[in-house]
Amino acid sequence: MDPSGLAGSSSSVVDLPNQGLNSRPGRGAGARARHGCPRGSGASAAAAGPRGRSTLYGPEAAAAYDQGVRILIVEDEPAIADFLERGLRAEGYAVSSVHDGIEATRRAMADDVNLIILDLLLPGRDGLSVLREVRGGKPALPVIILTARDQVHDRVAGLDAGATDYLVKPFAFDELAARVRAHLRTQRQADSTTLEAAGIRIDLLRREVEREGTSVALSAKEFDLLCYFLRHPNQALSRQQILSGVWGYDFDPGTNLVEVYVGYLRRKLGQAGGSAPIETLRSVGYRLRA
């Protein structure tokens, strides 16, 4: 087998990276702008599909569904990681990648990701060990193992450790993409189309917000931020978590973006009745009191 794990014998199978890194995998014409409501990694979201699949669910659902589905790639082979990143971005997902097991565990637990693609043989920490820890904290998070280990006992070990799915390298990108869609679809079917907490109700399909029955008009980013708070009621949320979950920043851009938008939200929610239930936690961040 090609050491990259990418070589394949049929035209439907990925034959990168040697000559193919300039040709993007997948069918997409480019990543789509993210402007949906950020999804939690577990039990909540709106009700349609990722780019290209949303017509299955009707135009209204498509308009509302969060295209900001976040996928974390854990892969230490740079060519494969790059290939996956570009292919999944072309499918419309927000993608990030890490290259060792320790960082993978940290990101999987701390970040608001919707699906993980996990290699097994990794520096720092083995993929199965990463998986077990992630499973302990996030039982519903879809995790697809993507590995060169192709024996039956490997597959059994992976699935028993909590993998949602198991795909062997070399792999066909279209199959991986289809499995990603399938697992996101399954997750989504359990999801709700409304969020409610602290007297605030968000209709994700209509992108409408009410507080104590009074309509609140929000900008797109204010709406995203409020969704994020309602998905994490009573949790202390750091500015970095909010920047990552709402704006997609994996770094602190050194601005007061979060402060400014929390200010907007408080003012608009306040106009609909009483002070807004978003507390400032000094030196930490914010919390929605519900």
Residues lying near Ca ion in the complex (CB under 5 A): 76, 119, 121
For Ca ion, give the closer residue by CB, 146 or 177.
Answer: 146
Query: Looking at beta carbons only, is 149 or 179 nearer to Ca ion?
Result: 149
* Element housing 278 (H / E): strand 278-281
Position closest to Ca ion via CB:
121
Residue number, 34 or 125, with CB nearest to Ca ion = 125
| Dihedral angle sign, alpha carbons of residues 66, 223, 233, 251 | positive
Distance CA 154, CA 127 (A): 12
Provide the minimum distance between the beta carbon of 121 and Ca ion in the complex, in angstroms, as a whole number.
4
Nearer to Ca ion, 145 or 278 (CB): 145
Which is nearer to Ca ion, 91 or 119 (by Cβ)? 119
Element (H, E) at 201: strand 200-203
DSSP 17-83: STTTTTS-SSS-SSPPPP-SPPPPSSS---SS-STTTGGGG-HHHHHHS-S--EEEEE-S-HHHHHH
